[in-house]
Structure formats: structure tokens, C-alpha cells
Structure 1
Amino acid sequence: MSEETELATVVELLDDEYARAILAATSIEPMSASELAERCDASPPTVYRRLDRLREQDLVEAAQQLDPEGHHYEVFSARLARLEVELDDGDYQIEIERRERDAADRFTELFEGLK
């Protein structure tokens, strides 16, 4: 993806009130989609669509959790730490700083890549 395409995609995504609300909520603590729907006053399909788009841009990540009955569900955490847009000599430059993934997530990604 070119830097210009990435800039346009991220700016469009951050222009969406639900995407911003999801990022804000998940920057505080990991949350499930149902928790996000309640917190953001949005329908579950709206939340899932925004989560898909945020994940495509690597601005949120998912992790598996267990509930007290032993069922798995996903919780989401913001990866966006900082976004900087600079205009210099007629050109826009974008810099996206993402939070580091924890070691367990990196190990899982490495292991799954070996299959």
C-alpha cells in the first residue's frame, strides 16, 4: 500500500465517529465487541465492521479470553499510539506509531506462520 493510500484510508477511518470511539475505549482496556457496542452506543454489526477496518490498518488487535464457563471470546485493544501528519513543500507525510504486541501474541503469530 502506498503512503498516499494509507494516509487517505486512515484519515477516512478516523473521520468515522464509531471508529474513533472504539479506538478510545480500547486504548483504556481490552474490550469485547459486545462491550464496545454498549460503550459506543452502536449496533454489533456496526462495531464489527469498524473493527474489521481498524484491524486491516493494524490499528487494533484481537486476543482470546476465557469467560467463567470456559468459552472463548475475542477482546480488542488499540494499537494506535500516535498519528502524525506533516505538510512540507506541498507533500503530506504520515507517521503512524503503533503499540508493541505482547510477547505471547508475537510467539503465536510466529508459530502460526510455520504451519
Structure 2
Amino acid sequence: MAEERPIEEILNTIGDEHARTVLAAISREPRAAKELSEEVGLSLPTIYRRLELLQEHDLIKQRTAIADDGNHFKMYECNFDSTVISLQDDEYKVRIYRRENLPDRFSQLWDELGTD
């Protein structure tokens, strides 16, 4: 699925060096904020601010995980496969190609067919 967003939103988000660092780390595999902090050498408050920024623009998703001792914590992961920036008719556009599962995509396509 491709989704268009205003280029300013995406460029401002990925223009932030710390946001890019966090996004690159979780694109390899999901991680908790503490793991990210240790891996990339940024403070936890900085990590949380960037995670919030990335979530605000729907570039990552979070899920709750359960540790061996029963404690709950958040895991963060990248939720897109790629982005494409294009120039069409003197206007830049950003397309985000999302990761999605097949049943959800089928349901969405079916809904779109029913509305046209």
C-alpha cells in the first residue's frame, strides 16, 4: 500500500539526525527504548522524543511485550518498507510503502471496490 503525505512532514521528521538514527536501528529489528538508548548512545529522554515524533508521522509502531519476569514494556518497530520522493507537475510528493498483512490488504481493497 502506498500513502502520500506532505513532503514537509516527512522531510522534517527524517531530517532530524537522532530520528534517523532511531529509525535505522529499529528497521533492522524491533527494540525497546532502553535497548535503543544503549545501542545508539542517546539518552532515554532523547529516544522517547524521537519515538514520539516518528509515531506522530506513522513511521513506526509500538507493541507491548512481556519480559520473563512478567513485566510489560513497549517494543518499537519500523512500519514501512520504503519511501519514494518524486517531482510531478512542479510539486514534490512522498509515498510511503507500508508493511501490511495480506488479509488486511484484501479487506481494504474489497472496501474500496464497494465504494466506487
Do the structures match in fold with TM over 0.5? yes
Aligned-pair Cα RMSD in Å: 2.2
Larger Rg: 2
For structure 2, the residue ranges without an aligned partner over 5 or more in a row are 104-116
Looking at structure 1, the residues matched to 83 and 4 of structure 2 have their Cα atoms a distance apart, in angstroms, of 14
Provide the aligned length of Structure 1 versus Structure 2. 101
For structure 1, the residue ranges without an aligned partner over 5 or more in a row are 104-115
Looking at structure 2, the residues matched to 20 and 76 of structure 1 have their Cα atoms a distance apart, in angstroms, of 14
TM-score normalized by the length of structure 1: 0.79
Check the 8 A contact 1:18/1:40 in 2, yes or no.
no
Residue 92 of structure 2: aligned partner: 92
- The change in CA–CA distance for 1:101 and 1:38 in structure 2 (over 3 A counts) is farther
SS at match of 2:30: coil
Q: Counterpart amino acid of 1:79?
A: N
Check the 8 A contact 1:63/1:74 in 2, yes or no.
yes
CA apart distance, 1:101: 6.1
Larger deviation, residues 8-17 vs 87-96: 87-96
Q: Does 1:49 align with 2:46?
A: no
Percent of aligned pairs with the same residue? Answer: 36
CA apart distance, 1:89: 2.9
* Segments of 4+ moved more than 4 angstroms: none
- The change in CA–CA distance for 1:52 and 1:28 in structure 2 (over 3 A counts) is same
